[in-house]
Structures are given as structure tokens and as C-alpha cells.
Amino acid sequence: MGYVDGFLIPVATARKEEYRAHEAKWWPWFRDKGATGLVVCWGDEVPAGEQTDFRRAVALQPDETVVFAWMTWPDKATRDKAFQGMMEDEGMGMEEMPFDGKRMVYGGFVPILSQGKIA
């Protein structure tokens, strides 16, 4: 079933298009390193929870929107090799990210069930 990287990212609402362009710019790099898919979703209905929620997970500010995204890989080894290459590639320009990377929540996941069409 492959491997999935999941992300929650706080993005300034006014920078929505800049953020979308950022993800579109870097997708070919990840695709060429073996990623099989990328889905980036702009928060539309993100309610406050009683104990925890997406907003608290990223310390969302009033002028920000939560982004929920995932990237798929054929396997963890391919993902690990790509991420190693990303850290070694000085041209990645990750210091120019249009979001606060310190508040990004992310993790790698092994799928245990996948049904239907995903994006």
C-alpha cells in the first residue's frame, strides 16, 4: 500500500495563492524522487474541539488557515532517500517557505486501509 507523509500547516490566509504556488513549484522535485501523489487542502470547515483540534495543533492565529496535506510514496525507503536528498540539496530554498515551518505538524504513516478514490 505504500507510504504516506501527512502534514498540518498554518498559512496566512492572505498568502493562500503564494502557498499553493509554492507546493506546485516543489511537486516536480518530489515526483522525480519517487513520490506518487500530493494532495493539499485549504481549511474550509475546521471546528474548535473540546480537548484538541487542528487549530490547536498548529497554534493557529486569527489571520491564518489550516492546511491539511499528504504525499504518497511507493514505500518508506523511497521517501527516506528523497528526504535525505532534500536535506543535501542546497537549492531547495526551504528557508523561503510561505508558512511558519516551526508550527507544522507532520509524520510518516503506513496505510492499513485505503478504499475509493483519493483526490
Strands ordered across the beta sheet of 3-12: 37-42, 64-73, 3-12, 105-109
Confidence of residue 103 (pLDDT cuts 50, 70, 90): very high
Does residue 119 register a pLDDT over 70?
A: no
Q: Give how many domains the chain has, as a whole number.
A: 1
- 103 belongs to a structural domain: yes
What does the pLDDT look like over 11-66, one tens digit per residue? 999 999 999 999 999 999 999 999 999 999 999 999 999 999 999 999 999 999 99
Task: Check residue 49 and give its pLDDT.
Answer: 95
- 79 belongs to a structural domain: yes
Q: Residues 96-100: what's their mean pLDDT?
A: 84
Q: Supply the CATH number for residue 43's domain.
A: 3.30.70.100
Parallel, antiparallel or unpaired: strands 64-73 and 105-109: unpaired
